């Protein structure tokens, strides 16, 4: 059985991709920090996580807007895409 999953953050504002700082806190692992970058194609912040994990995330846009949430028990070997609109 595989215990790896992937979480990616795609951040948009006004219908366009934007830069953002993304921090995830894993219940069973270290805190990870990444960034997204606007462009074509947009660069996403992607993390390897455990399928048994609960992941809390904080996304801070360049305008200071903050979005927080939680993802629990992502499916094995799948990409869980988290769309953030600020």
Paired strand residues for 23? 33, 58
User: Does residue 86 lie within any of the structural domains?
Assistant: no
Q: Are 14 and 85 in contact (CB under 8 A)?
A: no
80 vs 20, more confident: 20
Domain that holds residue 34: 4-75
* pLDDT at residue 50 greater than cutoff 70: yes
Cα gap 65→30, rounded to integer Å: 24
Supply the pTM of this predicted model: 0.73
Q: To the nearest whole number, what is the mean pLDDT of the chain?
A: 78
User: Does residue 26 lie within any of the structural domains?
Assistant: yes
The stretch 5-24 carries a mean pLDDT of 82
Is the Cα torsion angle 68, 32, 40, 4 positive or negative in sign? negative
CATH of the domain at 19: 2.60.40
Cβ density class 3-28: b for 16+ within 10 Å, e for less:
eebebbbbbbbeeebbebbbebebee
């Amino acid at each position: 059985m595989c215990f790896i999953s992937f979480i990616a953050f795609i951040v948009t504002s006004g219908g366009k991709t934007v830069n953002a700082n993304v921090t995830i806190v894993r219940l069973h692992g270290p805190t990870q920090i990444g960034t997204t970058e606007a462009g074509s194609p947009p660069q996403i912040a992607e993390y390897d996580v455990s399928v048994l994990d609960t992941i809390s995330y904080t996304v801070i846009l360049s305008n200071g807007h903050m979005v927080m949430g939680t993802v629990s028990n992502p499916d094995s070997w799948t990409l869980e895409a988290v769309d953030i609109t600020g």
